[in-house]
Amino acid sequence: MKLNINLNVPILASRNGAYLASLAFTAFFVLLPLAVLTYLRFYTTLIPKQSPNIPLQFIHNTNSNVVNVQELVSSKFYAFDLLLDYQVDVNLALACSHTDAYHLNAPFTIYLETQAKDHNSHRSLRTEVLKKSLFVKCDPAFVHQSNNKIVPFNLRHWVPPVLVNLDRHITVHLDNLVLKGSQLHDNIRRLQVGLEPHSNILIDDENSFLQFHIKYVGFRYYLVKYYYTCMLIGAGTFWMISTFVCLLVSYSMVWGGSEQKKRGQVPREAATGKR
């Protein structure tokens, strides 16, 4: 006994299914990645890249510890945007030579040396843009807790060295200096960071660095602060627009083809009727 089952699929249903499948594949596997790439390109156009960490190699003298950060305005190193403001972040790794001194003050100064010349001495003019006194805590317990957030101070020698940081330096962060990009690009020839020597303070050059952070305002501020939210909204907007255009074009092509077929069938029916 044989059982024969015949399945008849209408041609119109198969065509509609193929159209829907092709539209879904194009919308999710072609247009969606393109929308994400378009937004990332839009983001990189509005948001310049951040400056890398610039190591501070201090020149240790008897009068002052000075570092000259040169070639910051070079286009090969980092290009400043003329329309943006930059926050100068200085990270100093300072260590106390005597642990019995719990609080120390160290004068700190940042100079900007411009291209203008002094007519009397024929030297470049220096503008003092930041001067403050650093308050350094040399308490061993405070230094340990600054470098270790989990391991207690009294258990530092009972924990494997891989899990504890026994460095004696403490990082001092200065970020209250804002300069315009046009000033950094055009008028600054050399940025000079100076720290007056102290008998109980040592500078760790390997962990001291300088960095420029862009101060965003307006629309750029929200793009940076709410990165993933703006990315979802922006990529979704590009994707919906491209999908709508794709649907509109595909529908117009299908509708136009069906209209042409109908117009071609009418003369044939008229011709057969005359016969």
| Overall average pLDDT of the 258-269 stretch | 58
Sole residue written with tokens 């990270």:
91
**Under a CB-based contact definition with an 8 Å cutoff, are residues 207 and 92 in contact?**
no
pLDDT digits (tens, 9 = 90+) for 126-183: 566 667 777 777 788 888 888 888 888 888 889 888 888 888 888 888 777 888 887 7
pLDDT in the model for residue 71: 44
pLDDT in the model for residue 33: 94
Domain boundaries of the chain, sorted by first residue: 54-216
Kindly give the residue spans of alpha helices, DSSP state H, lying in the chain. 11-26, 32-46, 140-147, 181-182, 219-225, 227-274
CA angle 273, 274, 275 (to 5 degrees): 90
Q: Which of 60-69, 230-239, 242-251 has the highest mean pLDDT?
A: 230-239
pLDDT in the model for residue 73: 43
Q: Taking the complete model, does pTM exceed 0.75, yes or no?
A: no
| Overall average pLDDT of the 40-59 stretch | 83
**Between residues 264 and 87, the one the model is more confident about:** 87
Q: Give the span between the Cα atoms of 188 and 222, in whole angstroms.
A: 30
In this structure, of 16-25, 170-179, 185-194, 234-243, the range with the lowest mean pLDDT score is 185-194
pLDDT digits (tens, 9 = 90+) for 53-112: 877 777 766 555 666 555 444 444 577 788 888 888 888 888 887 655 566 666 667 666
Question: Topology of 54-216 in CATH?
Answer: Jelly Rolls (2.60.120)
Task: Indicate the residue type of 219.
Answer: F
pLDDT digits (tens, 9 = 90+) for 4-26: 555 454 555 566 677 778 888 88
